[in-house]
């Protein structure tokens, strides 16, 4: 059975049926899966499944779900999360609906491989049985023959039956060759090389790698480089080995190769070909964390083992013990220990046998904190811990220890250190802030709430309570719960009336929630409390403008030294500068529109939007500070306009906008029209340029190719202006023009059916749209 033949036919069928997107996805999904383009795969997977279902093709559904599992389980090792789906797909691929599906074999493999990744050595017998069962049903002509044979060899190798594994690969390769498929030593390259390296035969492994053709995909390329590095490392060719080993950055998407990489990098570090330092430790810990989280328990254990071994080599007792603790935590998740328990016990004993770190300490904790540390956070951690034994209450040391742990990729422990200190010293304000900040940064909002709640319950010192309130408010805002945030901020301001950030944040939340009186009262108090003008004055002007409390606007403007016209009453500057204002439309799109500034925090929109789009022209808006754009570069001074975020439309423009179209009358007549319309308060905005052409409406000019420069303009009319008056002006000014203009929208609005029909006819002659 040639699956790829079926895939090609499926692509053809999909194209014939007009399902081009489906055809594209059939071809590209396997590429994304094997090249570790996981994000692309995730982006299309729901769509691919929906298209397969829409095409009523259970086989294609199996196909896409299989490739998804290839990415999720075989490449990303997301065993815990996807085992259910692998089982469901196994069931579906063997159901009546998908009967005969050519990929049902692959699906069997997907499911069995979950166990290989969970705990390969722990499931050797089951995996062998499953692979042999499948192999008994297919022959070498099936593409699955290679995959299943690879799995079988891997199971043998996991069972430490290495020679048997090699012999098995030889047998399978012979079968492939006699079926006329494949090149010698090419099909099972990865498995073979892996086994040879385990057997301590790096020279042969290297020869195989060097003789191999191009890798099929990115993942295979990385695998070969890692194998090559390890073989070269074993042969003592260290420079070449270092050169060829992929960087941690390149490894990121290839979780299936983490274990291999750890082994190769560890080997090179042990041989001095790369630093055996805290950076390698952190990389390995990140890899271990990722695998452990995904459920690839045995591989995670292997990396923890590697970390411990490297830490022992560099005599980093603390790290070695940390790695041991990780191994111990992973043990119960393995199906069978198979010696792992003995291994941990021995490693722990070796770690404990290392001398306790006794870094030299200066005379004071502050001197220690000021020291430059060459050995990185791993060494610093020992120093801070030793120092804390001498100066147990020092908050700076606690924070430094937490920072060192964070730098080592151990944020959870950093939290623990801070928490333990707080339990002993509830008044340690800096430590408290640091811990709450860490919770917020890691989005551990439940932990944040629990700690802050305890502090409030205990009714401790004001500083601690205020800090707790501030972070509770931040947590609420992170979850889009403004009312909850306001409750905490109000309590905070009551506890600590001197907190300007809390006052300002609360006032702006109150303003956003429509509680304008409360906000203004708060800001009036703020202005009295903080005589230096500042952001509280700007916020006060925003709120006061919304409420027409002009005396407050004028007062804050005066405090800030801003000139405003008039002595009292509404602030409205007829000659304000040009600016831009940003609206957030209903669908979330942003509209940046030109406007004229009418006060310190107000503007009137000038830009006219096309009909059918949100219309803001004439809107009088209130905006906040600071502007959204940076100040201009010196050479852009003349062209720069500030851009402000709109907080509210104080007076909607309600302007009526219609289109004015036809042949461009030339600059002078157009100016005359513009002037006449301005006389009735209507504004014209020309949108067409030299690239816009229309046909002539005159019968004598109806010749091919004759086109005239066109005009497309928008006219905005304020609500108080009579539309009939505007129509009259248009008729009056354009009377006698060789090519009349068309204003269908206005005529329709006025209900002038007869004229409308004439304009429509004309529009058709001009070849206008709509």
Partner 1 sequence: MTEIAELVRTQVDLSGLMRVLAKNLYSTPEVAVRELVQNAHDSCVRRQLEDKSAFEPRIIVTADPAAGTLAIRDTGAGLTREEIDRYLATVGAGYTGRLREQGLGDGLIGQFGIGFLSAYVVSERVELSTTSYQTPDQGWLFSSAGGERYSVRPHPAGQVGTTVLLRLNERFRLLSNPEAVSRLLQRYCCLLPFPIHLADASAPPVNRPPPPWRLSAEEVPSPLRRKRLGLEFASRFERQFEPLCTFDVAPGHGGEARGLLWIQDGATYGTSDNRNVCVFVRGMMVSRDARDLLPEWAGFCGGVIEADGLNPTASREDLQKDAAFHATAAQLRETLIEGLATLAREDAATWRRVVMRHNEALLGAALCDDRLLALLADVLKVPTSEGDLTLPAIRRRSGTRVHISTGEAGGSEEVLFRALGVPVVEGTRYAALPFTQRFVEREGGAVVMLGTREGNAQLFRPAEVSPETLEKLKALFAEDGVELVPARFSPPALPLVRVPDRDAELKERLARDEADKRIGAAVLGLARAFTATLPSNAKARLYLNLDAPALQAVLAAPPERAKEGAALLRALCTLVARGDERAVGQSVSTALEQLSGALAALLSSGK
Pairing of strands 578-584, 693-695: unpaired
In the complex with partner 1, which residue's Cβ is closer, 108 or 195? 108
CB atoms within 10 A of CB 390: 11
Shortest separation between residue 45's beta carbon and partner 1, angstroms: 8
In the complex with partner 1, which residue's Cβ is closer, 250 or 649? 250
| Residues between 237 and 266 that touch partner 1 (CB under 8 A) | 243, 249-250
Asked whether position 458 contacts partner 1 by CB under 8 A, the answer is: no
Asked whether position 108 contacts partner 1 by CB under 8 A, the answer is: yes
In the complex with partner 1, which residue's Cβ is closer, 24 or 573? 24
Asked whether position 133 contacts partner 1 by CB under 8 A, the answer is: yes
- Taking the C-alpha atoms of residue 707 and residue 631, their distance in angstroms, rounded to an integer, is 45
Residues 641-680, mask of contacts with partner 1 (x by CB under 8 A): --x-------------------------------------
Shortest separation between residue 60's beta carbon and partner 1, angstroms: 15
Spatial neighbors of 71 by CB under 8 A, at least 6 apart, are: 32, 33, 38, 41
Which of 67, 82, 111, 142 binds partner 1 (CB under 8 A)? It is 111
- Taking the C-alpha atoms of residue 715 and residue 682, their distance in angstroms, rounded to an integer, is 7
Residues 397-436, mask of contacts with partner 1 (x by CB under 8 A): ----------------------------------------
> What does the CA dihedral 323, 329, 330, 336 come to, rounded to 10 degrees?
120
Only one of the segments 85-93, 355-363, 527-535, 724-732 lies at the binding site for partner 1 (rule: CB under 8 A); that segment is 85-93
In the complex with partner 1, which residue's Cβ is closer, 74 or 404? 74
DSSP alpha helix (H) spans, 120-217: 124-135, 144-158, 162-178, 189-198, 202-211
Asked whether position 42 contacts partner 1 by CB under 8 A, the answer is: yes
Distances (CA, A) of 285 to 247, 292, 515: 15, 10, 50
By CB under 8 A, the count of residues binding partner 1 is: 58
Question: 578 φ, ψ to 5°?
Answer: -75, 140
Asked whether position 702 contacts partner 1 by CB under 8 A, the answer is: no
- Taking the C-alpha atoms of residue 481 and residue 471, their distance in angstroms, rounded to an integer, is 13
Distance from chain centroid for Cα 586:
23
Q: What is the DSSP letter of 696?
A: -
For CA atoms 154, 156, 162, 167, give the dihedral sign.
Answer: negative
Q: Which of 264, 260, 259, 265 has its CA nearest to residue 298?
A: 259
Which of 57, 68, 71, 134 binds partner 1 (CB under 8 A)? It is 134
Which of 17, 184, 367, 590 binds partner 1 (CB under 8 A)? It is 590
Only one of the segments 273-281, 404-412, 623-631, 761-769 lies at the binding site for partner 1 (rule: CB under 8 A); that segment is 623-631
- Taking the C-alpha atoms of residue 205 and residue 195, their distance in angstroms, rounded to an integer, is 9
- Taking the C-alpha atoms of residue 665 and residue 741, their distance in angstroms, rounded to an integer, is 9
In the complex with partner 1, which residue's Cβ is closer, 118 or 267? 118
In the complex with partner 1, which residue's Cβ is closer, 128 or 284? 128
Asked whether position 84 contacts partner 1 by CB under 8 A, the answer is: yes
Asked whether position 681 contacts partner 1 by CB under 8 A, the answer is: no
In the complex with partner 1, which residue's Cβ is closer, 249 or 668? 249
Give the pair of three-digit tokens for residue 407: 């730098």
Which of 3, 49, 429, 676 binds partner 1 (CB under 8 A)? It is 49
Shortest separation between residue 430's beta carbon and partner 1, angstroms: 26
Which of 23, 26, 33, 44 binds partner 1 (CB under 8 A)? It is 44
What H or E segment, with its residue span, contains residue 581? strand 578-584
Residues 11-40, mask of contacts with partner 1 (x by CB under 8 A): -------------x---x---x--x-x-xx
In the complex with partner 1, which residue's Cβ is closer, 92 or 301? 92
- Taking the C-alpha atoms of residue 528 and residue 532, their distance in angstroms, rounded to an integer, is 9
Please give the span between the terminal C-alpha atoms of the chain, in angstroms, as a whole number.
57
Asked whether position 129 contacts partner 1 by CB under 8 A, the answer is: yes
The three-class DSSP label of residue 679 is: helix
Spatial neighbors of 287 by CB under 8 A, at least 6 apart, are: 251, 255, 258, 261, 262, 303
Asked whether position 441 contacts partner 1 by CB under 8 A, the answer is: no
Only one of the segments 42-50, 524-532, 562-570, 668-676 lies at the binding site for partner 1 (rule: CB under 8 A); that segment is 42-50
Shortest separation between residue 358's beta carbon and partner 1, angstroms: 40
* Residue count (the chain): 770
Give the pair of three-digit tokens for residue 353: 């046998």
The answer to whether 592 and 641 are in contact (CB under 8 A) is: no
User: Is the preceding peptide bond at 626 cis, omega within 30 degrees of 0?
Assistant: yes
Interacting residues with partner 1 (CB under 8 A): 24, 28, 32, 35, 37, 39-40, 42-44, 46-47, 49-50, 53, 83-84, 87-88, 90-91, 94-95, 108, 111-112, 115, 126, 129-130, 132-134, 137, 243, 249-250, 443, 445, 478-481, 584-590, 592, 628-630, 633, 635-636, 643
């Amino acid at each position: 059975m040639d699956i790829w033949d079926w895939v090609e036919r499926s692509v053809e069928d999909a194209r014939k049926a007009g399902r081009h997107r489906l055809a594209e996805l059939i071809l590209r999904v396997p590429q994304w899966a094997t090249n570790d383009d996981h994000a692309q795969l995730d982006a299309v997977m729901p769509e691919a499944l929906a298209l397969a279902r829409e095409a009523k093709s259970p086989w294609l559904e199996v196909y896409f779900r299989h490739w998804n599992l290839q990415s999720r389980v075989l490449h990303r090792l997301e065993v815990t999360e996807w085992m259910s789906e692998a089982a469901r797909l196994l069931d579906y691929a063997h159901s009546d609906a998908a009967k005969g599906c050519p990929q049902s074999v692959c699906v069997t493999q997907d499911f069995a491989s979950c166990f290989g990744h969970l705990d390969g050595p722990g499931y050797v017998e089951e995996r062998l049985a499953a692979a042999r069962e499948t192999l008994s049903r297919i022959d070498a002509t099936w593409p699955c023959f290679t995959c299943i044979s690879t799995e079988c060899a891997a199971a043998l190798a996991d069972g430490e039956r290495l020679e048997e594994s090699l012999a098995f690969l030889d047998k399978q390769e012979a079968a492939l060759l006699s079926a006329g498929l494949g090149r010698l030593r090419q099909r099972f390259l990865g498995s073979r090389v892996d086994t040879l390296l385990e057997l301590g035969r790096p020279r042969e492994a290297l020869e195989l790698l060097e003789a191999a053709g191009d890798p099929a995909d990115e993942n295979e390329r990385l695998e070969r480089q890692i194998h090559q590095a390890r073989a070269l490392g074993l042969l003592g060719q260290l420079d070449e080995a270092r050169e060829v080993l992929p960087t941690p950055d390149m490894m990121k998407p290839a979780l299936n190769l983490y274990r291999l990489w750890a082994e190769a990098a560890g080997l090179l570090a042990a041989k001095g070909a790369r630093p055996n330092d805290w950076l390698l430790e952190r990389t390995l810990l990140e890899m271990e964390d990722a695998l452990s989280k995904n459920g690839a328990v045995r591989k995670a254990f292997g990396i923890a083992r590697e970390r411990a071994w490297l830490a022992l080599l560099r005599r980093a007792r603390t790290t070695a013990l940390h790695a041991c603790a990780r191994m111990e935590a992973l043990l119960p998740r393995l199906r069978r220990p198979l010696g792992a328990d003995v291994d941990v016990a021995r490693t722990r004993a070796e770690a404990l046998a290392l001398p306790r770190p006794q870094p030299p300490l200066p005379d004071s904790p502050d001197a220690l904190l000021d020291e430059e540390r060459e050995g990185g956070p791993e060494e610093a951690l020992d120093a801070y811990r030793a120092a804390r034994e001498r100066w147990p209450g020092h908050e700076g040391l606690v924070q430094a220890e937490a920072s060192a742990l964070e730098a080592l990729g151990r944020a959870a422990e950093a939290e623990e250190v801070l928490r333990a200190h707080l339990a002993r010293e509830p008044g340690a304000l800096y430590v408290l802030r640091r811990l709450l900040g860490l919770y917020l940064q890691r989005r551990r909002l439940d932990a944040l709430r629990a700690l802050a709640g305890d502090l409030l319950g205990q009714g401790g010192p004001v500083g601690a309570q205020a800090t707790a309130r501030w972070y509770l408010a931040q947590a609420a805002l992170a979850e889009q719960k403004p009312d909850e945030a306001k409750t905490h901020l109000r309590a905070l301001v009551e506890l600590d009336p001197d907190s300007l950030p809390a006052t300002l944040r609360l006032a702006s939340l109150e303003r956003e929630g429509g509680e304008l009186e409360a906000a203004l009262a708060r800001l009036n108090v703020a202005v009295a409390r903080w005589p230096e003008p500042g952001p509280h004055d700007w916020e006060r002007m925003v709120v006061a403008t919304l409420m027409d409390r002009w005396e407050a606007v004028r007062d804050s403007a005066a405090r800030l030294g801003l000139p405003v016209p008039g002595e009292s009453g509404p602030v409205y500057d007829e000659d304000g500068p040009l600016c831009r204002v940003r609206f957030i439309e209903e669908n979330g799109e942003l509209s940046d529109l030109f406007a004229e500034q009418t006060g310190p925090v107000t503007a009137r929109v000038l830009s006219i939007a096309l009909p059918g789009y949100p219309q803001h022209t004439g809107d009088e808006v209130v905006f906040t500070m600071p502007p959204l754009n940076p100040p201009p570069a010196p050479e852009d001074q003349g062209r720069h306009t500030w851009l402000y975020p709109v907080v509210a439309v104080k007076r909607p423009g309600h302007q009526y906008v219609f289109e004015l179209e036809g042949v461009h009358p030339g600059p002078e007549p157009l100016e005359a029209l513009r002037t006449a319309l301005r006389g009735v308060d209507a504004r014209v905005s020309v949108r067409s340029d030299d690239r816009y052409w229309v046909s002539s409406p005159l019968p004598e000019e109806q010749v091919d190719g004759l086109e005239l420069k066109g005009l497309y303009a928008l006219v905005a009319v304020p609500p108080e202006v009579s539309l009939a008056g505007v129509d009259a002006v248009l008729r009056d000014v354009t009377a006698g023009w060789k090519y009349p203009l068309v204003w269908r929208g206005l005529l329709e609005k006025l209900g002038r059916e007869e004229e409308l029909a004439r304009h429509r006819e004309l529009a058709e002659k001009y070849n206008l749209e709509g």
